Amino acid sequence: MSLREFLAGLDRDGDLVRVAAPVSTVYEAAALMKKLDPRPILFHNVKEAPGFKLVGNLCADRGIISRALGVPEERLLERLAQAIENPGRIEVVGNPPCQEVVIEDPDLRRLPFLRFAEKEGGPYLTAGIVIAYDAEYGYNASYHRLMLLDSRRVVARILPRHLDEYIKRGARRVAITIGNHPAFMLAAAVTWKIGTSELGIASALAPIKYAKTISGDLLVPADCEVVLEGVVTDELADEGPFVDITGTYDIVRKQRVIEIERVTMRRDPIFQQILPAGSEHRILMGMPREAAIYRRVSEICEVLDVKLTPGGCGWLHCAIKIRKKSDDEPRMAIEAAFEAHPSLKHVVVVDEDIDISDPYEVEWAIATRTQLDRDLVLKPNQLGSSLDPSADQITRRTCKAGVDATIPLGADREKFVKVKIPGEEEVNVNRYAKR
């Protein structure tokens, strides 16, 4: 299962935008990705990086991920939760396509690192997945934006999560894999318990095979397009500013430098980038958290759907649809959601008749079903997301809130249910009016 095979399928179905005209890595590629969001786009001719194709917006649509995994869209979260709980076996093969070309002493400036915004600290790689190994925990794979410093060095934004822990425990060698199948991309976006291998999660989602790096001490997806083999150093450099998922500039921080020793790739390589704050960014970051919330809240009540909403950056706001059996359940669901996704800021819990993929419906439920002196859960001074510009981005202190927008059980339901016109769903407009 490779990115190439998947792109060929999209192309056959007419779902891949191919751009043959020369496109610059400086804003132009990013602007096109934004204009075409959420459609997958393949640039054949990158001005500053001859020899590389570039793909963007690959997983920008839940429908595409559903296709890549062969799972209906409404069952994606359940499928992902299953794969997290039952990771697959990691199959290792020799002679991998991702090592068809081996470049020792590489010059990273020849790769299509992109400029996305004027005030960014440098050109970025946003679709790089960092793989590291720890003798006790095994393999970890996680996304880290990488800012290009010079021909051999990048600075990586590393949050205090798994990779950071691996590094503290002595892991230094890393392999950065670029150009992956959606199953691996989604698996790598999962942050579950340390020691749960994202490589295994990917294997449970699709038949992904792995291969040893040239240095021999790490595994990478055998069919990926490009691998940067390197070492995490103790050197710190300024990372940022960078436009993160909120669409606003994230602050500059001192972060670790990774020194790249070797680049391996397929012949005719396809590089990959994720548009910051675009649909792909929101879906990849958000979906694993939706699965975690789904799983955790299911321990309390019957959960029908969970969405990190697009207006909430696919990260800070969550809508949860439940079928409640007591009036305590919405509040308990709110607390459970905050436990499952610590960056979450606002939660709305709604009844089964609300479509939570429609922001109007969620707002309508708030408008017609809540009295905030009764239905609001307010949690000041909590640890939240470093990405929210209205919070303290250093201490991550923020005020969280949950809204119970469900109909009280004892109430007259008829008062609250949206009235339909008899026949409105079946009526065929084309029979009545010319358009």
Annotated catalytic residues are 244
Judged by beta carbon, residue 138 or residue 359, the one nearer Mn ion is 138
Judged by beta carbon, residue 42 or residue 292, the one nearer Mn ion is 292
Judged by beta carbon, residue 4 or residue 145, the one nearer Mn ion is 145
The CB-of-36 to Mn ion minimum distance in angstroms stands at 31
Both tokens of residue 399?
């005020």
Q: Which residue has the CB atom at the shortest distance from Mn ion?
A: 162
Whose tokens are 């358009």? That residue is: 435
Helix (H) or strand (E) holding 28: helix 28-36
The CB-of-140 to Mn ion minimum distance in angstroms stands at 4
The CB-of-193 to Mn ion minimum distance in angstroms stands at 8
Backbone angles phi, psi at 282, to 5 degrees: -65, -40
The CB-of-198 to Mn ion minimum distance in angstroms stands at 6
Using alpha carbons, list the distances in angstroms from residue 165 to 87, 133, 161, 168: 21, 11, 6, 5
Q: Amino acid letter at 91?
A: E
Judged by beta carbon, residue 32 or residue 131, the one nearer Mn ion is 131
347 CB-near residues (< 8 Å, 6+ apart): 317, 318, 319, 320, 333, 334, 337, 338, 401, 402, 403
The CB-of-201 to Mn ion minimum distance in angstroms stands at 9
Both tokens of residue 270?
């396809």
Whose tokens are 């010319």? That residue is: 434
Judged by beta carbon, residue 87 or residue 112, the one nearer Mn ion is 87
β-pair type (53-56, 270-272): parallel
The CB-of-315 to Mn ion minimum distance in angstroms stands at 18
Judged by beta carbon, residue 124 or residue 137, the one nearer Mn ion is 137
- Are the C-beta atoms of 69 and 185 separated by less than 8 Å? no
Q: Region of 16 please: left (phi>0), alpha (psi -120 to 50) or beta.
A: beta
The CB-of-196 to Mn ion minimum distance in angstroms stands at 6
Q: What is the DSSP letter of 355?
A: -
Site for Mn ion, rule CB under 5 A: 140, 162
Q: Region of 418 please: left (phi>0), alpha (psi -120 to 50) or beta.
A: beta
Judged by beta carbon, residue 162 or residue 262, the one nearer Mn ion is 162
In what order do the strands lie in the sheet containing 91-92? 91-92, 209-212, 219-221
* Distance in angstroms (rounded) separating the CA atoms of residues 392 and 384: 9
* Distance in angstroms (rounded) separating the CA atoms of residues 183 and 206: 6
